[in-house]
Amino acid sequence: MTSTLIQISYLAAAFLFIFGLKRMSSPKTARSGIIWAGAGMVVATVVTFLYPQILEAGIGRIALIAFGVALGTVVAWKWGKSVAMTDMPQMVAIYNGMGGGAAGTIAAIELIKMSKGTGGHHDGITVALAVIGGLIGAVSLTGSVVAWAKLDGRLNKAPRIPGGHWTNFVVLGIAVISGLMVMFSDHPSGLLLATFFGSALLFGVMMTLPIGGADMPVIISLYNALTGLAVSFEGYVLQNPAMIIAGMVVGAAGTLLTLLMAKAMNRSIANVMFSGMGTGDAEGGDGIEGEMKEIGAEDAAISMAYGEKVIIVPGYGMAVAQAQHKLWEFVQLLQNRGIEVAFAIHPVAGRMPGHMNVLLAEAGVPYDIIYDLEDINEEFGTASAAIVIGANDVVNPAARTNKSSPIYGMPILNADQAEQVYVIKRGQGTGFSGIQNELFFGENTRMVYGDAQKVCAAFIAGVKSVS
């Protein structure tokens, strides 16, 4: 009876996971999707306490498990409620690393049991999946931690690894060989297991260190897919259907998202991982003819107040300045004057997928004026003005014209085709990838220097002065 209840509960949890993920595919239903998926996780967690092994463990161990669940819930709830939107990518990265670490820990425990001859029979497939899941989970753990450190500004200049990628391949080779030895050993030694997990953890660090900050959104998505895969493998090891299904759903979704983001940059996953773009080593943009031409914020706003269509391209600079609320106030003033306004979102804008959409939704911007690249790009040629607020590479014309540029071939938003372009920027430095932007030197481009929130406040004052 108990076994049947557990299986039915896991089936219900799996349905809630999939239904929640489906709801997350649209901004209008994403919030309810998170709630549905969360309900599935509650079901899966509670039903775990019905396992005979748990019930037979004694009240002390059950209380310890319950305490761990409660502690994690409280910490996550408080952190989730207080985290700034600008820090959301870091939180996603570190939570993803925890998932990988959990999968790796399960593998370590099962393999230690095997080394001691305890924990029941382990067939070849179970041992193989435990090893593979442990490898992937360990890499995802330390790789995600490094990604978090880069996004959080704690690792702005990563140390160079002697031997570069060749050293990484050697470390990976050690992890793979030691993993194979574990698979074919009836009772692997503690030293062998330590070598396997140690080299896997080290590889996660070394693989992520050389990757540029501009590529972190893709890397986070990749590690998300790896974590899902590791959880699914360890679900098989534990014979837990909920873990298998949830892991496969996360792994599949993360893989598709990673491929779509790489495609949006016109780059392969290998190029993202090994090019080092965004580390400060990227070249491109030197010798651009022309100069950056400055304009005052109020003068730019007055000019836009007499236009017909304005397209806004938000980027991470908007998030850092927390300018979305002032920007929306400015947009409403333009709309009240009969001006058509739209937001253009590039697939890799911000520090994680959907970052800009979430920020705009937080400010109350309606979904029906927010467009993806393929839906808005042809409209720039008919726009009176384009506002680029904190974005860089996603509007760089070098991606279309300069074959020597590291971003050549990357689909971009055609902001340069607007009649007038206003770029809100703190200074004249390059963006996160370290590549100079040809748009800033365009004949129809004017630079509006300053904090994005203060600039948007000046925009508001400028429009009001002509009302």
- Kindly state whether residues 152 and 250 are assigned to the same domain: yes
- What is the domain range of residue 112? 85-281
Query: What's the confidence (pLDDT) of residue 51?
Result: 80
- Kindly state whether residues 366 and 252 are assigned to the same domain: no
Query: What's the confidence (pLDDT) of residue 428?
Result: 67
Amino acid present at 158:
A
Q: Say if 29 falls within a structural domain.
A: no
Q: Say if 116 falls within a structural domain.
A: yes
Q: Say if 128 falls within a structural domain.
A: yes
Query: What's the confidence (pLDDT) of residue 284?
Result: 45
Q: Say if 54 falls within a structural domain.
A: no
Q: Say if 210 falls within a structural domain.
A: yes
- Kindly state whether residues 272 and 313 are assigned to the same domain: no
Query: What's the confidence (pLDDT) of residue 216?
Result: 79
- Kindly state whether residues 306 and 439 are assigned to the same domain: yes
Query: What's the confidence (pLDDT) of residue 432?
Result: 56
On whether the pTM is more than 0.85, the answer is no
Q: What b/e string do you get for 126-137 counting C-beta neighbours within 10 Å, with b at 16 or more? A: bbbbbbbbbbbb
Q: Say if 367 falls within a structural domain.
A: yes
Q: What b/e string do you get for 402-414 counting C-beta neighbours within 10 Å, with b at 16 or more? A: beebbbeebbbbb
The CATH number covering residue 387 comes to 3.40.50.1220
Amino acid present at 417:
Q
**Bridge partners of 309?**
340
Residue 393 is among the residues annotated as catalytic for this protein: yes
Low-confidence ranges of the chain (pLDDT < 50): 279-285
Angle at alpha carbon of residue 212, lines to 211 and 216, rounded to 5°: 85
- Kindly state whether residues 269 and 354 are assigned to the same domain: no
User: Which residue is catalytic, options 281, 372, 393, 416?
Assistant: 393
- Kindly state whether residues 181 and 265 are assigned to the same domain: yes
Query: What's the confidence (pLDDT) of residue 282?
Result: 45
Query: What's the confidence (pLDDT) of residue 460?
Result: 96
Q: What is the DSSP string of 287-340?
A: T--S---B--HHHHHHHHHT-SEEEEEE-HHHHHHT-HHHHHHHHHHHHHTT-E
Query: What's the confidence (pLDDT) of residue 275?
Result: 64
In the chain, the number of structural domains is 2
- Kindly state whether residues 275 and 304 are assigned to the same domain: no
Nearest by Cα to 95 from 110, 109, 111, 77:
77
- Kindly state whether residues 265 and 302 are assigned to the same domain: no
